[in-house]
Amino acid sequence: MLIDNIRLFQVIAVKGSLVAAAREVGLSSTTVSERLAALEAHYGVVLFNRTTRSLSLTEEGRTLLDGAKSVLAEIEDLETCIRHGADTLSGPIRISAPVDLGRSIVSDIVERFSQNHPAISVELSLFDGYVDIVGQGFDLALRFGSISDSSLRTRRIGSYRRIVCAAQSYLEQHGTPQTPADLTGHNCLIMRFGSSLDNVWRFGTGASAQEVTVRGDKVVNDGYLVRRWALAGHGIILKSELDVRIDLSAGRLVALLEDFAAAPNPLQVMFPPGRAQPRRVGALADALREGFRDFEKNASRA
């Protein structure tokens, strides 16, 4: 019963309310409240700060949530080995990825992975902003750039350039920028990553590094939409080469300011802190790394 209550506690923490947790697990709100109270009585601590409008983890609650993930993962792996054999992978995986990358490369990798491991269910969440993988209950997340949270475990997939590009129709009408400073006279389509506006574009490396603050008539938090607007000739964008490589090869977009390119950005898989992770999560991480390698090989042949 203790393990079941810890599982329920984890659902409450992810959903952010007793009512939402009750709906998720198919129990009444009263039952969920009673089982949470029993768990708090067992440990002799308060796990959530409660008000009429919000629910937030206490320090003890955060400690339990951090430890619960690895403990429950080990229990699930043990149950899988006993019931289905050591070679069988099963259970749920929650993964977060950037929108454009998720719709293209990651979705294909997940599809193949699911075919190879039919006992595993994958929930793919696409979002371009910051993701709290612990608080939101993700098993792993794909993100570009350096990771500021040192408690997270990471595995590098590769390093990729961000490319300034636009459709030929836009360039024919508005001209082609020759230097980064020229971008200030162009309509740049800007991404929003959570609370951060990606309107400071970086160029060059070392002593030649420079930044340009760009402006435009459209801002969006969806990488797929900003690329689609660029394809329609609405403006200039700054996107990962993974997102626009096919469009560049097909001539739908034109790379700009290549002589001023900044250093590549790392693409990394992030895992929650903890000593152990389910074997199924490690298997998906391996599949992601291999899938991106295959994409690179196929792109180089194109």
Q: Which two tokens stand for residue 65?
A: 């949530």
* Tens digit of each residue's pLDDT (9 = 90 or more) over 27-57: 998 998 899 999 889 989 999 888 777 788 8
- Tell me which residue of 163, 155, 94, 146 sits closest to 290, measured CA to CA: 155
Dump pLDDT digits (tens) for 5-24: 888 888 888 888 888 889 98
Asked if 189 and 243 count as a contact pair (C-beta separation under 8 A), the reply is: no
Token representation of residue 282: 């490690």
pLDDT in tens, 143-190: 988 777 667 888 999 999 999 999 999 999 999 999 999 999 999 999
**1-67, what's its fold?**
Arc Repressor Mutant, subunit A (1.10.10)
Q: What is the CATH number of domain 162-263?
A: 3.40.190.10
pLDDT tens-digit series, residues 177-233 = 999 999 999 999 999 987 889 999 999 988 889 999 999 999 999 999 999 999 999
The CA distance from 278 to 270, in Å, is 14
Topology agreement, domain 89-152+273-302 and domain 162-263? yes
- The per-residue pLDDT for range 253-280, each reduced to its tens digit, is 999 999 999 999 999 999 988 656 788 8
Q: Could you tell me which residues are beta bridge partners of residue 190?
A: 219
Pairing of β 162-166 and β 237-240: antiparallel
Name the residue ranges covered by the structural domains of the chain: 1-67, 89-152+273-302, 162-263
Q: Give pTM, 2 decimals.
A: 0.69
Please name every residue paired with 141 in a beta bridge, in sequence order, or none if there are none. 96, 270
* CATH number of the domain located at residue range(s) 89-152+273-302 in this protein: 3.40.190.10
Query: CB of 269 within 8 A of CB of 142?
Result: yes
